[in-house]
Amino acid sequence: MDMTMMRLRREDPRVVGSFRLHRRLGAGGMGVVYLGADKRGQRVALKVIRPELAEDQEFRSRFAREVSAARRIRGGCTARLVAADLDADRPWFATQYVPGPSLHDKVAQEGILSAAEVASIGAALAEGLVAVHEAGVVHRDLKPSNILLSPKGPRIIDFGIAWSTGASTLTHVGTAVGSPGFLAPEQVRGAAVTPATDVFAFGATLAYAATADSPFGQGSSEVMLYRVVHEEPDLGGVPDSLAPLVYACLGKDPKDRPSTVQLSERLAEIAAREARGLGAGAPRGPERPTGARAQ
C-alpha cells in the first residue's frame, strides 16, 4: 500500500467515530486508509472496510481478527491500536499514525541501503516479529511496503491478512494471499502457515533493501510463484556479511529457517560490526549457491 498522501475524494467520509479525516493515505484490498485526528490532535491511520466487503460475513470476521491481532501485540514494533468499531455499517479501526516512508518507497526513491542500515533495520524488525509471534499472530504479508521507517525505528503495518495461529485458512485452496516475490513456498502450496512463513518474507525483504529487487526477480505472478517453490534465490547483490543469513531465511523447508530470536541477535551483531567498519568477517551459515537464477 503506497502511503503517500492524497486529497479526500467526494465519496470519502469526513468524520468516522470521533476522528476527523484529512487525507487518503492509500487503498488496499480490504479498504481505504485515511489520515485522521481526534479532538486533541492525535493523528491516526484509520482503515475503513469497503462497502461491498462490509456485507460479507467472512470479511467481517477477518477484520475482527485483524483488530484482535493488533490488540494483542506488545512493544513498539507495530502501530498501536487507538480505537475500532467492528459493528458499524462499514467497520473501521484506527492506529497511531506513523510518520516516515515505507521501506519500499525509501529504496525506490533513494536507492539501496548500506549493509549497516539493512542489518540495523533487520535487527529491529526481527525483534518486532518476536513480539508479533508471541501474540500468536502470523503476519502473512510482510514486505517492504508494509514496513514504515519511523524516526523511532521500523514499524510493521497492515495485518489485513494476518491470522491467529491455529485459525482455519481464510483463502480458498489454490489461491495464495500475499505478494508473489515475498510469499513463502508453503503459502504457494497452500500448506500450514507458521512463524517461519514470516521469516521467509523477512529474508526476501532484507534482500530487497540491499538490492532494490525481490531475490526471485520480476515477472508474472505464476512465474514468481514457480521460482519461489522451485528455484534458488538470487542473492548476487546482497553484501557478504548479510548473504548467508538471508539465504538461511529463504530455505524452502520452514524447519531450516532461523528463528526470529536468532535473527535479531545475529543482525544486531552484524550491524555493530558494520558500523565499526568491520564488515568483512561474514557470519558462518549455509553456503549460498553461486549459480544465478535462470531467466
CA dihedral 220, 225, 226, 231 (to 10 degrees): 110
Are the C-beta atoms of 93 and 46 separated by less than 8 Å? yes
DSSP string, 134-176: HTTEE-S---GGGEEEETTEEEE---TT-EETTPPP-S-TT--
Catalytic residue among 141, 158, 198, 234: 141
- Give the number of other Cβ atoms within 10 Å of residue 221's Cβ: 12
Nearest to 203 by CA among 111, 292, 129: 129
Q: Which residue type does 224 have?
A: M
Are the C-beta atoms of 195 and 138 separated by less than 8 Å? yes
Evaluated on CA atoms 82, 49, 160, 22, the torsion sign reads negative
Beta-bridge partner residues of 149: 154
First-to-last C-alpha distance (Å) of the chain: 28
Query: Nine-digit cell at 26?
Result: 492509500
141 is catalytic: yes
Beta-bridge partner residues of 35: 23, 45
Instruction: List, in sequence order, every beta strand (DSSP E) within the chain.
Output: 15-16, 19-27, 31-37, 43-49, 81-85, 92-96, 137-138, 147-150, 153-156, 163-164
Which residues are annotated as catalytic?
141
